[in-house]
Amino acid sequence: MRVHYEFDTVLPPKGVVSALTDFSEHRPIFWPNLDPAKYQVHEKDATHALVTEGNRRPNVWARERYDWSNPGRVSWTVEESNFCRPGSGIVASVSPVELGGSHVAIDWERFPTNATGWAAAVAVRLGKDRALGFKRSLDHLARP
Q: What is the CATH number for 29?
A: 3.30.530.20
Q: Which residues contact 6 (CB under 8 A, 6 or more apart)?
A: 103, 104, 105, 106
Task: Please work out, in degrees rounded to the nearest 5, the angle formed at the alpha carbon of residue 120 by the alpha carbons of 56 and 85.
Answer: 100
Q: What's the chain's average pLDDT?
A: 93
Question: What domain count does the chain have?
Answer: 1
Whether 130 has a pLDDT exceeding 80, the answer reads: no
- Residues of the domain holding 111: 2-142
Whether 21 has a pLDDT exceeding 90, the answer reads: yes
For residues 2-17, average pLDDT: 94
Query: Could you give the percent of the chain with pLDDT greater than 90?
Result: 77
- Which pLDDT score is estimated for 23? 97
- Which pLDDT score is estimated for 27? 94
**pLDDT, tens digit, 9 for 90 and up, residues 33-86:** 899 999 999 999 999 999 999 998 889 999 999 999 999 999 999 999 999 999
- Which pLDDT score is estimated for 133? 85
Cα–Cα distances (Å) from 46 to 43, 66, 131, 136, in that order, read: 11, 11, 29, 26
| Cα–Cα dist 89/86, whole Å | 8
Q: Give the H/E segment covering residue 74.
A: strand 73-81
